[in-house]
Chain A
Amino acid sequence: MRKANYSVQRLQRHGYVFILPTLIFFTIFLIYPMVSAFRLSFFDWNLLTPMKYVGFKNLLGLFHDPRVINSYLRTLHFSGVSVAAINVLAFAFALMFASRLIRYKNFLQSMIFLPVILSIVAVGVVWEFMYQSTGLIPIILRKIFGASPAWLTNTKAAPYALIIVYVWKSVGYYMVIYIAGLMDVPSSFYEAARMDGAGFWGQLVYITIPNLRNTFALAVISCIIFTFGQFSIQYVITKGGPARSTEILALLIFREAFDMTRFGFSAAISVLFFLTLLVFSILQLRLFKSGAVGG
Chain B
Amino acid sequence: MTVGDNDPVGVGGYAEPGETRLKQGGGGMARRVMLVAAALALILTFSVSAAPKKVLYHYHWTETTYDKINQNAVKMFMAKHPDVDVKMVLLPDGDRVNIIRTVLAANGSIDSFALNNGESAEFLSAGQMVPIMPEAFGKSSVDDVVKMWTPGAIETSGGYWDGKYYGIPFELSDYVAWINVADMKEAGLNPARDKPKTWDQFVEVARKLVKEQGGTRVRNGFMNNSKEAVFNFLVLLNMMEQLGLDWGTEKGLIASMDQTDVLARGLKTYTDFVTESKIWDPALADNDREGFGNNKTAIFLTGGTWYWGVLDTYSVKRKDVEPFPYPRFPDGKDIGGVGYGYCLYVSKLAKDPKLAFQFLDAMASQPNEFIKQGYHQPRVRLSNGKPGLDPTLAKKYIPYYDQVFKGELAKTAVWLSSTKGNQVREIVWQAISKVIYEGASVDDAVAGLQGDIRNLYQ
Contacts and interface: CB of A to CB of B under 8 A. Distances in A.
Report whether chain A binds chain B: yes
Interface of A: 46-49, 128, 132-134, 138-139, 142, 150-155, 238-239, 241-245, 258-261
B104 A238 contact: no
B433 A244 contact: yes
Contacts of B437: 153-155, 241-243, 245
B83 interface: no
A150 B280 CA distance: 13
Contacts of B98: 258
Most chain A C-beta atoms within 10 Å of own C-beta, residue among B215, B218, B282: B282
Interface string B117-154: 00000110010100000000000000000000000000
A128 B284 CA distance: 11
Nearest to A257: B98
B216 interface: yes
Contact of B284 (A134, A154, A243): A134
Nearest to B126: A48
Contacts of B102: 47
Nearest to A238: B227
B283 A243 contact: no
Contact of B216 (A134, A245, A260): A134
Contacts of B215: 142
A239 B434 contact: no
Given A133-B281, A133-B284, A244 B227 contact: no
A238 B437 CA distance: 13
Contacts of A138: 216
Given A154-B283, A242-B226, 12 more contacts: A47-B104, A48-B128, A133-B216, A133-B281, A142-B215, A153-B283, A155-B437, A155-B438, A241-B437, A243-B434, A258-B98, A261-B422
A46 B126 contact: yes
A153 B422 contact: no
Nearest to B281: A133
A123 B285 CA distance: 17
B101 interface: yes
B369 interface: no
B124 to A, nearest CB: 10
A133 B215 CA distance: 11
B422 A260 contact: yes
Contact of B423 (A142, A242, A260): A260
B225 to A, nearest CB: 10
B92 to A, nearest CB: 13
Contact of A261 (B101, B228, B285): B101
Contacts of B282: 150, 153, 242
B167 to A, nearest CB: 16
B101 A241 contact: no
B334 interface: no
B50 interface: no
B105 interface: yes
A80 B455 CA distance: 34
- Candidate in A46, A139, A150, A238 with the most chain B CB atoms within 10 angstroms: A46
29 contacts: A46-B126, A47-B105, A48-B105, A48-B122, A48-B126, A48-B128, A128-B286, A132-B284, A132-B285, A132-B286, A133-B281, A138-B216, A139-B216, A152-B286, A153-B283, A154-B283, A154-B437, A238-B227, A239-B227, A241-B226, A242-B437, A243-B437, A243-B438, A244-B433, A245-B437, A259-B422, A260-B422, A260-B423, A261-B101
A241 B284 contact: no
A132 B104 contact: no
A154 B436 CA distance: 10
B130 to A, nearest CB: 15
Contacts of A133: 216-217, 281, 283-284
A4 B98 CA distance: 58
Nearest to B228: A239
Contacts of B433: 241-244
B430 interface: yes
Interface in B45-104: 98, 101-102, 104
CB-CB nearest 6 A-B residue pairs: A48-B126, A47-B105, A150-B283, A242-B437, A243-B433, A243-B437
B443 interface: no
B250 interface: no
B272 interface: no
Interface in B401-458: 422-423, 426, 430, 433-434, 437-438
B122, B217, B283, B437 interface centre (most CB from chain A within 10 Å): B283
A139 B98 CA distance: 40
Given A133-B216, A239-B227, A259-B426, A48 B283 contact: no
Contacts of A153: 226, 282-283, 437
Given A48-B126, A243-B433, A152 B438 contact: no
B283 to A, nearest CB: 4
A244 B430 contact: yes
B360 to A, nearest CB: 20
A262 to B, nearest CB: 8
Contacts of B216: 133-134, 138-139, 142
Contacts of B101: 46-48, 261
Contacts of B217: 133-134
A71 B451 CA distance: 21
Interface in B196-226: 215-218, 226
Contacts of A150: 282-283
Contacts of B228: 239
B118 to A, nearest CB: 12
Contacts of A244: 430, 433
